[in-house]
Structure 1
Amino acid sequence: MKPAFRRSALLPALALLIALGTSPAYADRCDDLAGQLKSQIDGLGVGKTAANVIYLSHPKAKQITLGCASRNLSNQLFAKTDGRKPTTAFLDLVASAAAIIFTLPKDDMRRGATRCVKRMGIIYGSDVSTRYRRLDMRCARTKTEASITISRSRDQ
């Protein structure tokens, strides 16, 4: 009597395990976001992924990366360009990428990035941190290059 009971309980459990074990593989949300950036921004290429960072490439930027969600941040966009003063084409690229990543209007992202870049100078220095539309924006420059980092805290 016992072997029949074990067999009847084992078969449904095995069927349930097989059904749940063969679920389709879902891509990481960050990889989906990188693919969405590539499809919506002309000239953007997706490179390697290392330590929750996806390296992107674009002719208007020296370096551009997409930081994936971590304990403290939901997402992060980092872009670097040659020259102390970023061009409008570079700011348009940053605004387009940030609009897709953070689901905000492109005009608002352009305004926030431009505001951050314009604050760099004699009064505020070469490293400026601002808040715009619940995003943390940090602009920095050296003698040869400028960078902007846009991120959103996990608690917002």
Structure 2
Amino acid sequence: MKGIYLLTVITAIAVAGCDGKRKENGCKKEIITTVTKTGNSKNKIADFYGTYKGTLPCADCGGIRTTLKINNDTTYELISEYIGMKDGIFEECGVYRIISGNIIELTTPSSGEKTYYKIIDSGVALSDSTGKTANGKLAKHYILKRH
């Protein structure tokens, strides 16, 4: 039962970033803040900057083709394409910070909404604020791989 609840929460987080509007002009640069790293400074995740891609599960479409770009200036760009849905491409930009040493907290400036990805060996996995990720058969579908 806990696994189903976690899966529901993670799916809700993935979909929550969508404000129902397609952004035609791309992302505007937001105010740059400093990255807050906690924990051991010799952490193996020091080089997490880059582009991550994958297809997240979607309850009412063929999946959410996702591209997440983590920049070294504490900004991110997130493109979510809802496969098979008309006007289903959404772009969002904002700032991020590292919490608990291995969790990327994305913040959408317009809404203040937060989304979390846990840094793992093969990329990043959609998670909750504590770093808990989906488990079981569907766990691999919540991972974006580094490109």
TM-score (norm 1): 0.26
Higher strand share: 2
Larger Rg: 1
- Structure showing greater relative contact order (alpha-carbon pairs closer than 8 Å, 6 or more residues apart): 2
Higher helix share: 1
TM-score (norm 2): 0.27
